[in-house]
């Protein structure tokens, strides 16, 4: 059964200016694939394609924000400050429903070049009333996944990773590529 070997990106910065997660993920995967092909420098002949992601936190009370702008939300602030700011933007009595979204784009390396495709993963939950926990990163200390009473920042890494939007997207990709048992 085929496997996957991930190689970290070592090329130029890739623009992210799409309106949707899918736009940014595809933009990054195609940019990286085309850059590698122009240079003739991909890992080896067994490299099947380029994988990129875009992900973020979507909050119902903020009309889906920060969403695709999650990484660029309040760029002058640290994540603990961003988390406090975001929580302060939700008025008392408003929905605290939220979800993390991850879209993976796969740009195959073949001749002729096939179109890239995307898969996605989500984890639904709600926002805490305050920042809780020191684990994880980003918005983890304010997100409580459905069925739990602790934030991703409070849950152990194994539980968080099993539930996460990224792991759900990775499972969807593995299924699409036929590499699941």
Q: Catalogue the active-site residues.
A: 54
Distance CA 163, CA 124 (A): 10
Q: Are 76 and 142 in contact (CB under 8 A)?
A: no
Q: Which of 128, 91, 120 is nearest to 104 (CA)?
A: 120
Dihedral over Cα of 64, 69, 71, 76: its sign:
negative
Q: In 3-state terms, the chain is what percent helix, strand and coil (to 5)?
A: 35, 20, 45
Only one residue has tokens 């939220």, namely 98
């Amino acid at each position: 059964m085929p496997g996957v070997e991930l190689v970290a990106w070592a090329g130029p910065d890739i623009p992210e200016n799409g309106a949707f997660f899918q736009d940014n993920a595809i933009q990054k995967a195609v940019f990286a694939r085309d850059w590698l092909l122009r240079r003739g420098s991909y890992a080896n002949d067994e490299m099947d394609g380029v994988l990129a992601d875009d992900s973020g936190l979507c909050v119902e009370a903020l009309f889906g924000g920060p969403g695709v702008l999650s990484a660029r939300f309040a760029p002058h602030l640290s994540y603990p400050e961003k988390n406090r700011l975001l929580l302060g933007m939700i008025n008392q009595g408003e929905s605290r429903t939220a979800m993390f979204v991850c879209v993976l784009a796969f740009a195959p390396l073949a001749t002729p070049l096939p179109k890239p495709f995307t898969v996605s993963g989500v984890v639904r939950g709600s926002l805490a009333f305050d920042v809780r926990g020191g684990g994880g990163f980003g918005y983890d200390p304010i997100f409580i996944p459905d069925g739990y009473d602790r934030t991703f920042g409070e849950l152990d890494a194994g539980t968080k990773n099993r539930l996460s939007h990224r792991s759900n997207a990775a499972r969807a990709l593995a299924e699409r590529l036929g590499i699941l048992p």
